[in-house]
Structure 1
Amino acid sequence: MVKSTAVVVLFACSLSLLPASDPAVWPQFRGPNGSGVADTEKPPVEFGPEKNLKWKVPVPSGMSSPVIFGDKLYLTAFDGGKLLTIAYAIADGKELWRAESPAAKIEGYHKTEGSPASSSVATDGKVVISYFGSCGVFAHDTAGKPLWKYELPMAVTAADFGTGVSPVLVDGLVVLQRDDLKDPKIIAIDAATGSRVWEKKRQSPQSYGTPAVWDTAGGKQVVTPGYGRMVAYDLKTGDEKWSVAGMPSAACTTPVVGDGILLFAGWSPGDSEDKEFKFPTYDELLKQGDADKDGAISKEESENTFLKGFFDNNDTNKDGKLTRDEWDAQIKFMSAAKNGAFAVKAGGTGDVTKTHVLWRKTKGLPYVPSAVLYKGQYFMVKDGGLVTAYDPKTGKEIFVQERVAAAGRYYASPVAANGHIYTVTLDNGTFTVFKAGEEVPDPVAKNPPLGERVAATPAIAANTLYVRSANHLWAFAEK
């Protein structure tokens, strides 16, 4: 008896000396440094409402993406007029705490395609950083205790589409790119104290893509998409290091870094060289919808035109009529777009458009979902279920606009793990899973729809795929 007890004690002691397993980590929008990749994780390939479902819980409205550190998952939400940061247990989806970020007024946002809780949190496992365009930046500890707040005036976004960018937490700094019509800027805040470290004015009145951090030989840089230009700032000082001209007029996507280069792919309406999409002229709108022949488009009339569902965003003076001057001004603003996918090599200063851009392509470009760099390919998905992959170093076309993903619109960015790439449709949450690195796109699983909109990018941690849909939070793992 004594001997067996000693063996048990010895075994227990030996277990205590083993190194603790690494915590589950998907610490910001799109995971580690916004890459969308968790290569060592093994989420299921086949899953759905009836298969490999670990748990499913209801969640309030919002479009922020799940962020994970350790045993907790974080979301932002908009519920009952309140802006919230909410923590859940990754083991069973139990809500652990919620904290309100008070706002005097909620920012303008598109009621079906946006949310005042669109920005994902960032965390290092000690502090949880939330940003709301309505009121500013907020810090909590992992138990939900408020630490500090950095108040900002309500963001005024182009056409009242709302905020989309997420904060980045790196080397003790919270970096926030805040492009709006009144005061576009990028700021760095001390994550421990909430005090401003630096702030730089920007020339970009509109963008929605989250910055990427690039660790170069000359130091870490924060690379930000924007209207007209992509700009890199020194992480420590905020000084502008380099820029690339020619960007979508409404840059929604996030750059990625890898193999010593930085890549970006994005599209928005308005590029004059875009052969696939052209804005209608005002006269064409009148032909479509001006039923009373008064030379203007009312909200009711707009439902029969190209503008269906987007009248309020284009009625800039809010008088209930869309005039020729309003429409032409919108077209002029958007016509600054230059859509493309491109790669930038490190080491440049100033305008490096002609010196450090390795290649540029214009086919297969995504609007909202950011591309993912994985298994030697720069992979992207766009509306219609079209997938495209380029060689990241040369720009060689591997496959272009192959219609093999589920049909529909796409907002969520592709994510990757264990040799697979996951894509999901917006309107009904249909996942297609691809084998990565193939010369032709290889869908290894076409999963049943979740039956709800999925605008948020999934997270991968603890061998589990976490999905936020319109009304639920789902966890899928092999059983």
Structure 2
Amino acid sequence: MTKLIATCVLTLTLAPALAAADWTQFRGPAGTGVADDQKPPIKFGLKENLAWKVAVPPGASSPIVVGDKIVLTAFENNKLFTICYSCADGKELWRKESKAKKIESFHPTEGSPAASTPVSDGKTVVSYFGSCGLVCYDLDGNEQWKFELPTAVTNNEFGTGTSPVVVDGTVVLARDLSKDSAVYAIDLATGSQKWKAERKQKTAYSSPVVWDDGGTKVLIVPGMASLTGYDLQSGKELWIVNKMSSVACTTPVVFKDTLVYSGWAPGGSDFKLPTFDEILKQAGDDKLGYLTKDGAAKTPFGNFFDNNDPNKDGKITREEWAENMKVLEGGENRAVALKRGGKGEIAWSYTKNLPYVPSPVVYRDRMYLLKDGPLMTCLDAKTGKPVYEAERVKAGARYYASPVAANGHIYIASLEGTLAVIAAGEDAPDVVYSVKLPEPVRATPALAHNTLYVRSDKFLYAFTEKK
């Protein structure tokens, strides 16, 4: 398909009347990952149903779709950008830099200073960077306001992961750091602070959601070993559920009158980490009594050495190792469903085969969990009872992108670049189609205007059914 034909097809598809079909935040409508009114293609690839692809700068944020525009954030040449593209042909429409006094520390291969997905109310776009705070633009790229924040410092210098949400004219940002953690409520029209709720929890990477709990809008914020509900209007803490995962990477999901959340981290009861002595032996550093960077390279721990060397002296001591393990072993890995009623009461829980980074997707009364392997588990979302457990999916191995769903299918994207389409509602994860892109995919895809938008490490793709 030539670019001209692609432009014509998408222009017809993107009529203003379809604004309700936009994908305006991380994981789309209400953060659910579901767009069941959409019909993205089931078969697609570099030579099939590709409307266009454009090169994009590095970044881990997901694209959002607002009318005829796509917006994402990026980090290139030590600069932070919010960039807008045309849905019709992928042409870059505008690019705005957010200047930071200092770029936050981040993991060079697993993190990014542009990891937070923008959010839109359909008229404006708000981006968040851990390095400098929030910035709001109109859809033409004109800056409306800034809400500056100090450079984020996260545990082990992994970097920022949370994304902002917009509800009732308020931008909400959950910012859990190694210190000074807080939730901020910012007026969307003016950029002024409405309220701030300080938190004791340390570093988390999850994004919040809003749950209508019996007429009260409750802001749900995952955190280290916890899940907390706040009154959206005042920021008052309403309840807290403890004994959750020590590392919060996933986003909760509102399902009818229920809220579900799944958290997992290494060090929990279902995944014991090696002891320090075992790591030393693997590294060949047992005679030294501390772990060296060269030694760590011989172990699965090697890629994370620098993030676990707090004083940057080139060695990890037994005491430093113990401090890190204390954090990881302080939580409990489980998925939970909360009842309505304002008390954070648990309806059911499930403790096996939980994903680390990908958030669950609840689709047509079933909750799907995608774990590295990859292994997929399907639960009855009302009861938590398994439909199937830890079934192997022939599609990649590692996942940062969360599953999304539409038109009877679930779409997954792996760090190896594999995209797969799985039939929903079955008694096993039936892969009906898969394709491999040349580069990794770590950003969650977007589903809007009957199009699947995929951001890889190098390109932004638009896949749509040819007419």
- Tell me, yes or no, whether TM beats 0.5: yes
Kindly indicate whether the alpha-carbon contact (under 8 Å) linking 1:184 and 1:202 is maintained by their aligned counterparts in 2. yes
Kindly indicate whether the alpha-carbon contact (under 8 Å) linking 1:422 and 1:432 is maintained by their aligned counterparts in 2. yes
Match of 1:21 among 17, 27, 48: 17
- Structure 2 counterpart of 1:16: none
Comparing 402-411 and 329-338, the one that deviates more: 402-411
The separation in 2 between residues aligned to 1:20 and 1:179, in whole angstroms, is 38
RMSD: 1.2
Written as runs of structure 1 = structure 2, the 5 A alignment for 1:41-80 is 41-80=38-77
> For the pair shown, which has the larger CA radius of gyration, 1 or 2?
1
1:294 aligns with 2:294: no
User: What is the identity, as a one-letter code, of the residue corresponding to 1:22?
Assistant: L
- Structure 1 counterpart of 2:410: 421
User: What is the identity, as a one-letter code, of the residue corresponding to 1:337?
Assistant: G
Name stretches of at least 5 consecutive residues in structure 1 with no aligned partner. 1-18
User: What is the identity, as a one-letter code, of the residue corresponding to 2:366?
Assistant: Q
Comparing 218-227 and 194-203, the one that deviates more: 218-227
The separation in 2 between residues aligned to 1:248 and 1:48, in whole angstroms, is 36
1:449, distance to aligned residue in structure 2 (A): 0.2
User: What is the identity, as a one-letter code, of the residue corresponding to 1:473?
Assistant: L
1:440, distance to aligned residue in structure 2 (A): 2.5
The separation in 1 between residues aligned to 2:141 and 2:263, in whole angstroms, is 36
1:449 aligns with 2:449: no
- Structure 2 counterpart of 1:470: 457
- Structure 2 counterpart of 1:195: 192
Kindly indicate whether the alpha-carbon contact (under 8 Å) linking 1:424 and 1:432 is maintained by their aligned counterparts in 2. yes
Kindly indicate whether the alpha-carbon contact (under 8 Å) linking 2:280 and 2:286 is maintained by their aligned counterparts in 1. no
Kindly indicate whether the alpha-carbon contact (under 8 Å) linking 1:178 and 1:185 is maintained by their aligned counterparts in 2. yes
SS at match of 1:286: helix
The separation in 2 between residues aligned to 1:418 and 1:405, in whole angstroms, is 21
1:20, distance to aligned residue in structure 2 (A): 5.5
User: What is the identity, as a one-letter code, of the residue corresponding to 1:139?
Assistant: C
- Structure 1 counterpart of 2:9: none
- Structure 1 counterpart of 2:29: 32
1:56, distance to aligned residue in structure 2 (A): 0.4
Kindly indicate whether the alpha-carbon contact (under 8 Å) linking 2:85 and 2:91 is maintained by their aligned counterparts in 1. yes
- Structure 2 counterpart of 1:432: 420
SS at match of 1:301: helix
Kindly indicate whether the alpha-carbon contact (under 8 Å) linking 2:176 and 2:201 is maintained by their aligned counterparts in 1. yes
Kindly indicate whether the alpha-carbon contact (under 8 Å) linking 1:390 and 1:398 is maintained by their aligned counterparts in 2. yes
The separation in 1 between residues aligned to 2:286 and 2:203, in whole angstroms, is 35
1:330 aligns with 2:318: no
Kindly indicate whether the alpha-carbon contact (under 8 Å) linking 1:253 and 1:369 is maintained by their aligned counterparts in 2. yes
User: What is the identity, as a one-letter code, of the residue corresponding to 2:397?
Assistant: G
1:106, distance to aligned residue in structure 2 (A): 0.5
The separation in 1 between residues aligned to 2:52 and 2:455, in whole angstroms, is 12
- Structure 1 counterpart of 2:384: 395
Match of 1:215 among 212, 216, 219: 212
1:296, distance to aligned residue in structure 2 (A): 1.4
Kindly indicate whether the alpha-carbon contact (under 8 Å) linking 2:51 and 2:462 is maintained by their aligned counterparts in 1. yes
User: What is the identity, as a one-letter code, of the residue corresponding to 1:382?
Assistant: K
Kindly indicate whether the alpha-carbon contact (under 8 Å) linking 2:418 and 2:437 is maintained by their aligned counterparts in 1. yes
The separation in 2 between residues aligned to 1:365 and 1:109, in whole angstroms, is 25
- Structure 2 counterpart of 1:320: 314
1:265, distance to aligned residue in structure 2 (A): 1.1
SS at match of 1:46: coil
The separation in 1 between residues aligned to 2:432 and 2:97, in whole angstroms, is 42
User: What is the identity, as a one-letter code, of the residue corresponding to 1:468?
Assistant: R
Query: Identity of counterpart residues, as a percentage?
Result: 54
TM-score with structure 2 setting the length: 0.95
Kindly indicate whether the alpha-carbon contact (under 8 Å) linking 2:455 and 2:461 is maintained by their aligned counterparts in 1. yes
User: What is the identity, as a one-letter code, of the residue corresponding to 1:141?
Assistant: D
The separation in 1 between residues aligned to 2:435 and 2:226, in whole angstroms, is 40
1:344 aligns with 2:338: yes
1:361 aligns with 2:350: yes
- Structure 1 counterpart of 2:359: 370
User: What is the identity, as a one-letter code, of the residue corresponding to 1:386?
Assistant: L
Kindly indicate whether the alpha-carbon contact (under 8 Å) linking 1:285 and 1:306 is maintained by their aligned counterparts in 2. no
Instruction: Go from structure 1 to structure 2 and tell me whether the alpha carbon gap of 1:452 and 1:177 turns closer, same or farther (over 3 Å shift).
Output: same
May I ask how many residue pairs the two structures share in their alignment? 451
Kindly indicate whether the alpha-carbon contact (under 8 Å) linking 1:379 and 1:388 is maintained by their aligned counterparts in 2. yes
Kindly indicate whether the alpha-carbon contact (under 8 Å) linking 1:414 and 1:424 is maintained by their aligned counterparts in 2. yes
The separation in 2 between residues aligned to 1:455 and 1:208, in whole angstroms, is 14
- Structure 1 counterpart of 2:87: 90
Written as runs of structure 1 = structure 2, the 5 A alignment for 1:255-270 is 255-270=252-267
Superposed CA offset, 1:94-118 (max 9, x none): 0000111100111010000010000
SS at match of 1:453: coil
1:203, distance to aligned residue in structure 2 (A): 1.4
Instruction: Go from structure 1 to structure 2 and tell me whether the alpha carbon gap of 1:473 and 1:20 turns closer, same or farther (over 3 Å shift).
Output: closer
User: What is the identity, as a one-letter code, of the residue corresponding to 2:426?
Assistant: E
- Structure 1 counterpart of 2:4: none
TM-score with structure 1 setting the length: 0.92
1:158 aligns with 2:158: no
- Structure 1 counterpart of 2:277: 283
User: What is the identity, as a one-letter code, of the residue corresponding to 1:478?
Assistant: E
User: What is the identity, as a one-letter code, of the residue corresponding to 2:356?
Assistant: Y
- Structure 2 counterpart of 1:176: 173
The separation in 2 between residues aligned to 1:342 and 1:405, in whole angstroms, is 27
1:182, distance to aligned residue in structure 2 (A): 1.7
